[in-house]
Amino acid sequence: MSSEVHHHLDTLLHEDRLFPPSASFRQQANVNDPSVYERADQDPEAYWAEQARQLDWFEPFTQVLQWDPPHAQWFLGGKLNAAYNAVDRHRQGPRRHKVAIFWEGEPGDVRTLTYEQLGREVDRTAHMLRHLGVRKGDRVTIYLPMIPELVFSILACAKIGAIHSVVFGGFSANALRERILDADSKLLITADAGWRRGGLIPLKANADEAVQGTPVEKVLVVRRVGDAAQAAWHADRDVDWHELAAKMPKTPVPAEPMDAEDVLFLLYTSGTTGKPKGIVHTTGGYLVGANTSMRTVFDLKDSDVYWSSADIGWITGHTYVVYGPLSAGVTMLMYEGAPDWPHRGRFWELIEKYGVTIFYTAPTLIRTFMKWGPQYPQQYDLSTLRLLGTVGEPINPEAWMWFHEHIGHGQAPIVDTWWQTETGCAMIAPLPGLVATKPGSATRPVPGIAAAVVDEDGHPVQPGSGGYLVLTRPWPSMLRTIWGDDERFRKTYFGKFPGIYLPGDGARVDEDGYYWILGRIDDVINVSGHRIGTMEVESALVGHPAVAEAAVIGRAHEVKGQAITAFVTLKEGVQGDEALVAELKQHVVNEIGALARPEEVIFTAELPKTRSAKIMRRLLRDIAEGRVLGDTTTLADPSVIEELKRLYKDSE
Ligand code: WTA
């Protein structure tokens, strides 16, 4: 086990506060019979088949699981359509005129879409995709802000069987291009720009730069900010969303019957090498996972108003803004902007305005709210909230308690959900009517999921000890492969323990069987709940003409969870000064996006290396976090450390 995990273990709070669900919550919960865990454990296939039947299938599946490790196929023979399940099936019954989406733009503009209206928009968008030459199996890259057209685009792809690849709007032109090329998309959907804290995110300008030299033939452009954007227009390539939409027939587009194992989408995430991985999710299994967890973990009822503050550019937005809630027929809130625009009470104002009952957000935001103080939520009526959730990183008990007291008025259960882009839906999380929660623990695997914490040899560790978190059985919404790189898929996730999925997180299980996630054990940093590979940032830095070598680490940060510190050696004759620090930070922003901007850049003559020339990141982390240094006996030149410690202090 890495020393980093041991360190986490040492500092982990001993937590024995326990919050059981209230009798009234338990009574009304969708799942309140504890035998579900045992039943699912004894016959996971029967459990998942039962869940799968909550969806509408055009043709029923004939086999639940085919497991040829590391490749799983679920619901074989079944045919269904994800957009049909998310929208069209609700257009036929009592939910037809139910609100699907309350949308609120950052400047305060609003839009309400019933399931019927959403369905028409999806059909219109599907007509546009067809008109632009998109066919079943084609990839479409989507680079949009949090506006309704993003949902229309995703569902329109799903409806006609095209594979969507959504790229978060905070990524740079370079990052977008890399993802377009890897997916080999011929259509890009973007907007003139997006709003952020009153300013503009130049999406179209980034897109123009990104598509050069890619297979993209057409760029479909939503006018989000109108005259405020000064985007160039390429008449032969750019298509105005609204003009084209107006010309489309008003007829429904039939939902393409997809094989359960047909690819639904790609979503890129960071790994341990510089190249992001295109995580592949398929239609049947993914949708079953998303839908099931809405009903079980989020206890969703028809009367709920649900809000996940995640951006659709990440997996949380795919599963818990689009496919999960809509397939469950929810009324949800979707918000375009920042939590402090135009004021720090914006989120609470929205919860009051729409009567939100379930609120799902990230620990980094909770810590930000804590910093701002309880006077903001106190100004609003949050009494409608009955369930809270968190995701993205371990939640520190202080933040958990604050969320519980100030937002959940001491009553709403908190579901801390551990999962990943790769897992598709929540894997370790309480069922809120059944499981007593402990602040900081994601509690236990959900029914149908088998986890363990193991040592280097794959043997389960003693309760209380740290080890590798693993998932020991296949599950429906697991990634199927990495787009175009099955070998990397095998190695990354199944290379260490054959047939057993390795998420890359450290964990420990306590005496009660509760899981405590300790953070990544690989070279992935979690900044504000966003995964960033250290190698990605390093290769961006060494791409700068002044840089000879770079080592990037994540250090503990009060609000962001982790922040990026870059140690950089410069080329002969280059002088490291403040201006160069600023330039290098900006260079990383240009290469990857603002989310990867280093908090500190420290120039050093040498980087600490082992005798086999491996950079000792652990030492760098220790320096950045001001810890007593661990074992340096393998270090080639120990004097490097003293120098680094001095430099790091100077930079503060
Ligand atoms: C971390 C986000 C602790 C973890 C859904 C994981 C968490 C990575 C939690 C996946 C949680 C996510 N507690 N850690 N509740 N949720 N993580 O792919 O390190 O963006 O491996 O998926 O975030 O990040 P991803």
Q: Are 518 and 503 in contact (CB under 8 A)?
A: no
Rounded distance from Cα 442 to ligand 1 centre (Å): 11
Rounded distance from Cα 490 to ligand 1 centre (Å): 20
Task: Assess whether pLDDT exceeds 50 at residue 448.
Answer: yes
Q: Which atom of ligand 1 is nearest to the CA of 517?
A: 3
CA distance 423 to 85: 20
Q: Are 534 and 268 in contact (CB under 8 A)?
A: no
Other residues' Cβ atoms within 10 Å of the Cβ of residue 378: 11
b/e map of 39-69 (b: 16 or more CB within 10 Å)?
A: ebeeebbebbbebbeebebeeebeebbeeee
DSSP assignment letter at 31: -
Pick from 309, 360, 419 the residue to mutate for probing ligand 1's pocket: most ligand atoms within 8 Å of its CB.
Answer: 419
Closest-CA residue, ligand 1 atom 12, reads 392
CA distance 546 to 575: 9
b/e map of 247-274 (b: 16 or more CB within 10 Å)?
A: ebeeebbebbebbbbbbbbbbbbbbeeb
pTM over 0.85? The answer is: yes
Q: Which atom of ligand 1 is nearest to the CA of 395?
A: 13
Q: Is the dihedral of CA 262, 265, 270, 273 positive or negative?
A: positive
Quick one: pLDDT band at residue 6, thresholds 50, 70, 90? very low
| 123 three-class SS | helix
Tell me the residue type at 445. Answer: P
Quick one: pLDDT band at residue 13, thresholds 50, 70, 90? very low
Q: What is the pLDDT of residues 534-560, one digit of tens each?
A: 999 999 999 999 999 999 999 999 999
Closest-CA residue, ligand 1 atom 14, reads 393
Q: Which atom of ligand 1 is nearest to the CA of 422?
A: 18
Other residues' Cβ atoms within 10 Å of the Cβ of residue 97: 10
Q: What is the pLDDT of residues 116-168, one digit of tens each?
A: 999 999 999 999 999 999 999 999 999 999 999 999 999 999 999 999 999 99
User: Which two three-digit tokens encode residue 565?
Assistant: 């510190």
Residue 184's region, left for phi above 0, alpha for psi from -120 to 50, else beta, is left
Model pLDDT, residue 2: 45
Q: What is the pLDDT of residues 347-359, one digit of tens each?
A: 999 999 999 999 9
b/e map of 279-291 (b: 16 or more CB within 10 Å)?
A: bbbbbbbbbbbbb
Rounded distance from Cα 446 to ligand 1 centre (Å): 16
Task: Assess whether pLDDT exceeds 50 at residue 523.
Answer: yes
User: Which two three-digit tokens encode residue 178?
Assistant: 């890399």
Task: Assess whether pLDDT exceeds 60 at residue 11.
Answer: no
CA distance 144 to 620: 37
CA distance 124 to 252: 8
User: Which two three-digit tokens encode residue 285?
Assistant: 């299994």
b/e map of 475-485 (b: 16 or more CB within 10 Å)?
A: bbbbbbbbbee
Quick one: pLDDT band at residue 652, thresholds 50, 70, 90? low
Task: Assess whether pLDDT exceeds 60 at residue 294.
Answer: yes
Mean pLDDT of 175-203: 97
Quick one: pLDDT band at residue 271, thresholds 50, 70, 90? confident
C-beta 481 within 6 A of ligand 1:
no
C-beta 517 within 6 A of ligand 1:
yes
User: Which two three-digit tokens encode residue 401?
Assistant: 């308690």
Rounded distance from Cα 392 to ligand 1 centre (Å): 4
Model pLDDT, residue 14: 65
Q: Is the dihedral of CA 586, 589, 594, 596 positive or negative?
A: negative
Residue 441 vs residues 316, 516, 561: alpha-carbon distances, Å: 19, 5, 16
Sheet containing strand 481-482, strands side by side? 238-240, 218-222, 187-191, 139-143, 163-166, 263-269, 277-282, 481-482
b/e map of 528-558 (b: 16 or more CB within 10 Å)?
A: bbbbbbbbbbbbbbeebebbebbbbbbbbbe
Task: Assess whether pLDDT exceeds 60 at residue 1.
Answer: no
User: Which two three-digit tokens encode residue 371?
Assistant: 């910093």
Alpha helical stretches, state H, 229-278: 241-247
Rounded distance from Cα 170 to ligand 1 centre (Å): 19
Helix (H) or strand (E) holding 561: strand 561-570
Place of tokens 């006077």: 375
| 563 three-class SS | strand
CA distance 248 to 250: 6
Q: How many residues does the chain have?
A: 652
